[in-house]
Homo-oligomer: A and B are copies of this chain.
Amino acid sequence: MPLELRIETTNGKARAGRLLTPHAEIETPVFMPVGTLASVKGVPQDTLEELGAQIILGNTYHLYLRPGVDTVRRMGGLHGFMSWPRAILTDSGGFQVFSLNELRKVSEEGVTFRSHLDGSSHFFSPESAMEAQIGLGADIIMAFDECTEFPADRERMRASMELTARWAARSKKHFEEHKNEVPWGLQLQIPTLAAKNAARMGHPTLGEATQYLFGIVQGGMDRELRRESALRTIEIGFPGYAIGGLSVGEPRELTREIVESTLEHLPADKPRYLMGVGTPEEIVEYASLGVDMMDCVLPTRAARHGLLFTSEGKVSIKQARYAQDQGPLDPNCGCRVCRRYSRAYLRHLYASNEVLAQVLNTIHNLSFYLDTMRRVRHSISLGEESRFLSSVWSRPEP
């Protein structure tokens, strides 16, 4: 079954649509909260549902180390394991191997790396990364890629891009041969919603549905290599395409330039996923360029450091100026945190190292990101291209 992206409205390069996955229908453009270890840190799953999260992300590298793919597979995959009935996407592990392992060793076959937990040695290949992701059972999984470091010279960028292309072909081959091994059928209590979605997608049962494997465009910071990577990945053929290898230390203008030029080469009828970005302003901008899916640790990680995103700009809640501030964190936000608690209370929780600080801060930041993306969708539907950004934000950005 092909993965269906139904584009409902376009506005300039931006588009609003619906993506039907085995476990959930996703309204795009969509922001995907990061749940590295099968948990969006500090936030219970029912709260994520209330926030309107339609798809969350798990990290294959982390889950492979803890609790291990076999455990998750036996529990019916991530959906059963973490009791999350909506959609999930897993990354390939390539980025974490790149970012968490100084001593990794890359060969044509794959990557040897050491666990950041205990130093034990492990090996990821396109085949083993597919095997892990099939066992984890996300709705959307990613081809195994090499994330090119920044800066890199052109020769290195080309070699890395070509390796990623060869790995993409091997990822697809292994996936096609093993895609029926996804453990959804093992799940004892299949969520009704997911079963219904599977039926809508033409699968008699969820157990007969399969995952969708996305290709990843690499090519470093070179527009021509990015074009070539896009064409080669499209030639292999995937139901969706991601832009990887950005947010690795390059200036933001360069990120935008590469995103914009790469998008030109991606098919309009397939979902486009920009990996690992960005600030609230950036996710609005990338949606305006035609990106459908984004993920980023920023809202959750910043929350843990007391940095909160609001309609009036960033708030560092640890500051003493908020110690007796009776106002809500964001007067324009309707989330359960802003409805109930004062800045003074949030400041106290953070200053006192109370765990509730992380819980409430994360809920608010995720709410802000998800609300922002909902406003982007609405703005696209309005069809007023020139006012795209200003209609998303209540006031001009600084």
Contact = CB atoms under 8 A, between A and B. Distances in A.
A120 to B, nearest CB: 16
A345 interface: yes
Given A41-B355, A46-B340, A71-B323, 19 more contacts: A37-B354, A39-B349, A39-B354, A39-B356, A42-B359, A44-B356, A66-B348, A66-B351, A66-B352, A67-B351, A71-B348, A75-B324, A75-B326, A81-B345, A83-B341, A83-B345, A355-B355, A355-B358, A359-B359
A48 to B, nearest CB: 11
B83 A41 contact: no
A158 to B, nearest CB: 39
A194 interface: no
A323 B75 CA distance: 10
A344 B75 contact: yes
A89 B359 CA distance: 25
B355 A83 contact: no
Contacts of A324: 71, 74-75
- Count of chain copies: 2
A188 interface: yes
Interface residues of A, number: 38
A255 interface: no
B344 A81 contact: yes
Contacts of A188: 326
A336 B50 CA distance: 14
Nearest to A38: B348
A347 to B, nearest CB: 8
A340 B352 CA distance: 31
A101 interface: no
Interface string A16-55: 0000000000000000000001110111111000000000
A342 interface: yes
B348 A44 contact: no
Interface in A343-376: 344-345, 347-349, 351-352, 354-356, 358-360
Interface string A318-347: 000001101000000000100011101101
Given A66-B351, A324-B71, A42 B83 contact: no
A82 interface: yes
A38 B347 CA distance: 12
